[in-house]
Structure 1
């Protein structure tokens, strides 16, 4: 859970400090970095920073938008790496504190569920990693937006999720993107009393987020191919085929192996004990509930939240190889399942029907 990604952070920094002679449009579309032949990105960054002589070459990374560079480059101009990480940690703590304050101020009864889900993400590790921070910021800001604006109409919710899909594709490095769908979607479902409308929202909002996410990604390849007169789809689709192939090192990968790989990251004694205590707490409250006779209606109310909790597993099925290899950070998708189930239990199973 606490593992950082120095490899990808080094790539991000190498992308940010690149100063080649290519035209601006080409650099924006291809996103070059300089590496030392035979060395990993971490070592290349160290050598580059210390002006070590050696056999260098340029690498392009055209399949992503690399939107994080819009923020990272100015920060590197003003601060050193340690300062940026300190700022990153401070801003994230401030956002979490503001969310919890706003939840308390607005009498939002799911603050405990939110805290438990956030802890599953390991915010300490996120604050020290550039790669893990991008979607984390988008998720936190979307939660703040929903708490501050009383989004009730389906059209407003879909507009928000569509834009979140676009922003996720722009900023993210394919880490755990579903948090920008799952967390705001759960908060929107919490406001809905009709389970049939809630189920429809799960489908429509997930679909519109996917359209924004995939459309923005494809937009990079289309725009880049047009501006550079070069087919960027070859690299992008080639890598996509690898990530979705359900094969690794010439061996078939099963969905249960993928789930097991991701689950074992959170298979830690403190988390197991916490889950047991939470389960005991909910079971005790459910037994003491005065309106358990309306069990069917409560289960129907719970259905949309169950559907949201299954979204990460659908992602593991689609991006099978990626989730199998990079399980040590893709496990964070499971926090969506935790948040959806906890909020669903609180809203539908333990709260008196309206």
Structure 2
């Protein structure tokens, strides 16, 4: 325990140094290149609609679940352009030009030098995505960044699924892939707002497939911290839930108590990393700039908690309403019926552990009920952990070796030499 705390402390120090260092790198990127590429994006019409639908609207139900968040992406670019407008304090306060509710107008105003509006700050977040955006905008436009995001996340998806196939088998890999498809994962691949948590979740899964037997506590601590750095509270819980499901599949624990202790330990590590990184940002920004970021954070927290527990039920039901239920129900029925005819008598332990992890997004909705309700059109993607957890729980009840003789189809537990390759 002591050694783990020491390692986590060292990792946290390195991560904070990396966050500030990346901010400095972004700060020193040439303004003229950033502005030129943002102007190109505006001229191409990349931001004419704040919340465009990525489908032919008349052909699909649940249209809002196919929505892109150009609104927040434009805000991120606005901050990237204005990062140097107030000196080095901009790294901590993140100034941006504001003329009203439409971020496209705000972004256009900052490029054209509009004298209307005002400068506002967004200092309670780390805004790691803004730092990366400014660095990339030195070389390409917003459209180019989208291509890069799609390419990078596609390669990560392919790598992650291949590693899962090699270490835990085809069934687990297929169910994880299906779960991602059922929350429209491909939309996350095109968004500065959504992509970071997907990248972190996939990165965590890939790391675990190479180190399945190592202590994962520090990894989850780091994932929690990196989530705070990069995410604007989209679906942060997937950087805990998806890697945790992968960890359980890799460990294939037959001892419920030991497996449950693992779940609790890494969840606490993630929460500590997540929370302490928020506190570090507020402390650094307040101490180095004189702005009272703690008061800002408290005010936003009070706004989110307005209404207390009254939002919880509606938040959960609204998010559940965005799922493709007919496909989920069919998949669960197939697995459960198969389990009746080919039961795995030892499968209840992993099934119970997967089911427990499936509750992670609901814990998130309880704590963050107000924003989860108002942003349900993208917060529903947190339910990928619930969908994958339930499907994996049902699959654990099936004796796959009796059902399918080929060991290449499903490996209930990874072979040690596979995991190390």
TM-score normalised per structure 1: 0.89
Equivalent of 1:30, from 89, 93, 98? 93
> For residues 345 and 283 of structure 1, do their structure 2 counterparts lie closer, same or farther at Cα, with a shift above 3 Å needed?
closer
**Which position in structure 1 is the counterpart of 2:230?**
171
Q: Tell me the distance in 1 between the aligned counterparts of 2:165 and 2:358.
A: 25
Deviates more, 1:76-85 or 1:229-238: 229-238
Task: Tell me if the contact between 1:199 and 1:303 (Cα under 8 Å) persists in the aligned partners.
Answer: no
Instruction: Indicate whether 1:12 and 2:76 are aligned.
Output: yes
Equivalent of 2:213, from 152, 157, 166? 152
**Which position in structure 2 is the counterpart of 1:264?**
321
Instruction: Indicate whether 1:80 and 2:126 are aligned.
Output: no
Aligned partner of residue 253 in structure 1, secondary structure: helix
**Which position in structure 2 is the counterpart of 1:120?**
182
> For residues 69 and 39 of structure 1, do their structure 2 counterparts lie closer, same or farther at Cα, with a shift above 3 Å needed?
closer
Q: Tell me the distance in 2 between the aligned counterparts of 1:18 and 1:166.
A: 25
**Which position in structure 2 is the counterpart of 1:181?**
240
Give the gaps of 5 or more residues in structure 1.
none
Indicate the RMSD between aligned Cα atoms, in angstroms.
Answer: 2.1
Q: How does 1:30-109 map to 2 (within 5 A)?
A: 30-36=93-99, 38-49=100-111, 51=112, 53-106=114-167, 108-109=169-170
**Which position in structure 1 is the counterpart of 2:332?**
279
| Cα deviation 1:315-347 (Å, max 9, x = unaligned) | 111111011111111111111111112222223
Give the C-alpha shift of residue 48 in structure 1: 3.2
Equivalent of 2:287, from 226, 230, 247? 226
> For residues 107 and 197 of structure 1, do their structure 2 counterparts lie closer, same or farther at Cα, with a shift above 3 Å needed?
closer
> For residues 164 and 39 of structure 1, do their structure 2 counterparts lie closer, same or farther at Cα, with a shift above 3 Å needed?
closer
Q: Tell me the distance in 1 between the aligned counterparts of 2:394 and 2:336.
A: 10
Aligned partner of residue 322 in structure 2, secondary structure: helix
Q: Tell me the distance in 2 between the aligned counterparts of 1:157 and 1:107.
A: 17
**Which position in structure 2 is the counterpart of 1:323?**
372
Q: Tell me the distance in 2 between the aligned counterparts of 1:215 and 1:23.
A: 26
TM-score normalised per structure 2: 0.75
Aligned partner of residue 78 in structure 1, secondary structure: coil
Q: Tell me the distance in 1 between the aligned counterparts of 2:123 and 2:113.
A: 27
Give the C-alpha shift of residue 42 in structure 1: 2.0
Task: Tell me if the contact between 2:179 and 2:384 (Cα under 8 Å) persists in the aligned partners.
Answer: yes
Equivalent of 1:345, from 376, 394, 413? 394
Q: Tell me the distance in 2 between the aligned counterparts of 1:306 and 1:279.
A: 13
| Cα deviation 1:286-326 (Å, max 9, x = unaligned) | 122155xx4xx543442222211111111111111011111
> For residues 70 and 52 of structure 1, do their structure 2 counterparts lie closer, same or farther at Cα, with a shift above 3 Å needed?
closer
> For residues 206 and 106 of structure 1, do their structure 2 counterparts lie closer, same or farther at Cα, with a shift above 3 Å needed?
closer
Give the C-alpha shift of residue 102 in structure 1: 2.6
Q: How does 1:135-146 map to 2 (within 5 A)?
A: 135-146=197-208
Aligned partner of residue 118 in structure 2, secondary structure: strand
